[in-house]
Chains A and B, each alone.
Chain A
Amino acid sequence: MNILIVEDESRIAKRIERMTRAIYGNTLQSLKHINTLHEALSFIENNSLDLVLLDLNLNGDNGFDLLTTAVSGSFHTIIISAYKEQAITAFEYGVLDFVPKPFNKERLEQAFNRIIKKEKVIINTVKFLAVKKRNRVQLISVKDILYIKGAGAYTELFLSDGKKELHDKSLEKLEQLLAKSFERIHKSYLVKMSEVKEIIIKSGSKYIAELNNGTAIPIGRTKYKDIKTKWF
């Protein structure tokens, strides 16, 4: 695991660091602490990370600027903040968890477990996926996404207007965030279930999900049973 802590309170940063080391133990490859927004942005850009622990209020700056950049990255983001009222917005942007201050080791562990055990976020709804464009980050509304296709380390978002966007997060990570309305129906596909019109069974035990716009997406043989019991 490569973890970045962005926190401007030295004592709290040390606490997070200590607890993180304790929880991850040997699996921790690197742990970095940064206390300014600017440095954090350039670190995120130039380093490969698995997790960012982010405080939303840094030296009076609004952490949401950093948040949109962070959530567009390939890594998961966990917010550790004093402002509980920002939790809903943070979840809408697609953070994995929101740990309110003051926190203890148990609460932090619970957040980390979402990564370790790949728990799905089903309580809160993600409203946007942040997509990296040439000099900026664009927020794509989850409402507009029909399905997502895995493409190696990246994913492709297929939108209702026919456009296609590239996202840095893996299909696994997005599956975790979008668990409430999307279903992994195939090794390479994550589909919004409300868009599925019908399931067609073809000869040779081939299952196809047909979407409202006519797109046909294969359903994994192993997944079919689960999907049927869960959704139909």
Chain B
Amino acid sequence: MNLRPVSNFLFLCLILLVTSCSQKPVFKEYNTVAKIGDQKEWAAKNWNDSNWSKSKPRLIGGEVYWSRTPIDILKAPEPLHPYAIRPYIYGEYEVYWDGVLIGKNGNPGQEETLNPEGEMLATFIIPPDLTEKGQHMLAIRTSVYHFPDHVGMKVDIANYDDLLTKRLIETSYMHIFAGAFLIASIYFLFLFLGNKKEYRMLIFSICCFLFFILNLAEFITTYTPIHYMHHRIRLEIIGALMFGISFLIPLYFSLQFPYPKRKIILILYAVILLFTFFVKHDFFNFTYRNMALSMWVFSLGIVIFGVYRKIKGAGLILLTLLLSMLVTFVTRFSIGIIVSFSIILLGMFYLLSLRIKEQRLAYETSLVQSTRLRLELLKKNIQPHFLMNTLTSLIDWIEEAPKKGVLFIEALAKEFDIFNQIENKTMIPVAQEIELCRRHLEIMKYRKEINYFWQEENIDMEQKIPPGILHTLLENGITHSLPLEDNSIKFKLAYEANNDYKCYTFLTFATCARQEITSREDGTGLKYIKARLTESYHEYWDFTSKPVHHGWKNTIKIYA
């Protein structure tokens, strides 16, 4: 388990190594100038462009503009390894090198009439005979019919082979990530389906899946030609995915590291995130960054609170958050965001593994506990106090009044019979439990020669309760009570239910046997009741047991 941070770090190093190999530059690129209009001569190497604008042209839509970039080649290419150009430009364009047309991506100026053509990432080889050492001119003739306000003038120039392979390598590494997270997503979805209460697993599964799609969407341009017209769809998808992930990760941490007023704070966070999502929505990178930052800051807050509260795993998550921030600082945004999400998701993965371990331990404990409770229920029958006193009385009845002795045996047989039926159950119908109590009273009548009365009020016989809990209350009532003046003790079971809870009230009408009433908190009987309630209702129950003027009052509340 301790190796996880180390392996994270190694993986990160690998990514950095792959993405940051740079070579000694063989070009020098000067400032690009642009002009709206369309003249074939503008492609020429020596055209006087001193009056051209250095800023991006403001287009209305459909018109052609030219951009010119002087480039110095510092070192001629090696034979058979030509240089190439990759423009990062929205629109359809033609590329001229020293006045020579070297490539075409769509039909600039004719977008309105012709079908969309071309792709986002086009690469053009510069003819080797035009790449001798010295000054050159790159001229691009572009039209942006669909998104005239998105003018791009950036170009990438490099060795043709490198230009093609570098991005492919990057993409393949990123897709390894994507695949891993797809599998994690499916795995945790199955885990969630197996235990529908584990929302953390569901959230993690969705996170992994969104992350998988995000990864695909981010790098799809490498191998799928997309016309710039459709590029917005991709950006919108990435935005939506970022929004989802940015909300789910802090939500996950909120469940893992609880803090006060969670709901209100989460709603507030969602509002902030929505605001970030919609304000300046068209500046995609800006939106992505802000959402990622909000996510990071909020998560950091939660995790720091978790560390403060000394919740298990919070320290490691804090480390992964800091590490992810470091990564986004040292790498390109598109890669940084993926790597840092990966690191955070790995941290969440670790938390889930802790959670699964906890569950396993809890399950093992509960098995032991259930067995223990079952034994305790069984023991009620054979514990010496009950059994030997019963047998002694029984012998006496048989010796003194054999007919009554037989009735006594029958009552005993009935109680044993019910115990046999419920012995291995965790829940039984309340009717059965009441029957058990009535049989027990019958036995006690013979033993103690007190008139015991049983009364019920408003009982829903269909309801189920853990076995032996009313019986335990009855036993306590018998043991700790002295009869009233008419030699009677009355027990009453009342039931009420509403939308919030079900409540059983068990009353004893008797004289209390103890002069000073001490708390029965530590009695094994009450421990048994509490353990049974926990077994069946987890923490959604309430049990009180206290003296009242007529004897004793017990209430068992079970919350919906």
Contact = CB atoms under 8 A, between A and B. Distances in A.
Asked if A and B bind, the verdict is yes
Interface of A: 8-12, 14-15, 35-36, 38, 57, 59-61, 82-84, 100-104
A82 B395 contact: no
Given A10-B448, A10-B449, A36 B513 contact: yes
B515 A9 contact: no
Contacts of A61: 513-514
Interface string B447-470: 111100000000000000000000
B480 A101 contact: no
Interface in B236-276: none
Contacts of A10: 447-450
15 contacts: A9-B392, A9-B393, A9-B447, A10-B450, A15-B392, A15-B396, A35-B482, A36-B513, A38-B515, A59-B482, A60-B476, A60-B480, A82-B388, A100-B388, A102-B395
B236 to A, nearest CB: 73
Contact of B393 (A12, A59, A84): A12
Contacts of B479: 59-60
Q: Is the interface of A mostly helix, strand, loop or mixed?
A: loop
B338 to A, nearest CB: 68
B130 interface: no
How big is the B interface, by class?
20 to 34
- Which of B446, B448, B515 has its CB near the most chain A CB atoms (within 10 A)? B448
Contact of A11 (B387, B446, B482, B523): B446
Contacts of A60: 476, 479-480, 513, 523
B385 interface: yes
Contact of B385 (A11, A35, A83, A104): A83
Given A60-B479, A82-B389, A101-B392, 17 more contacts: A10-B447, A10-B448, A11-B396, A11-B448, A12-B396, A14-B396, A36-B482, A38-B515, A59-B481, A59-B482, A59-B514, A60-B476, A61-B514, A82-B385, A82-B387, A83-B384, A102-B388
Interface string B381-423: 0001101110111111100000000000000000000000000
B392 A12 contact: yes
- The secondary-structure label for the interface of chain B is helix
A8 B482 CA distance: 9
Contacts of A83: 384-385
A11 B391 contact: no
B476 to A, nearest CB: 8
Contacts of A8: 448
A36 B479 CA distance: 11
B448 A9 contact: yes
Contact of B480 (A11, A38, A59, A102): A59
Contacts of A57: 385
A103 B395 CA distance: 9
B482 A9 contact: no
B447 A82 contact: no
Contacts of B481: 59
A223 B514 CA distance: 51
Given A9-B448, A11-B447, A12-B396, A59 B513 contact: yes
Contacts of B388: 82, 100-102
Chain A to chain B: the 4 pairs with minimum beta-carbon distance, closest first: A82-B388, A102-B392, A59-B513, A101-B388
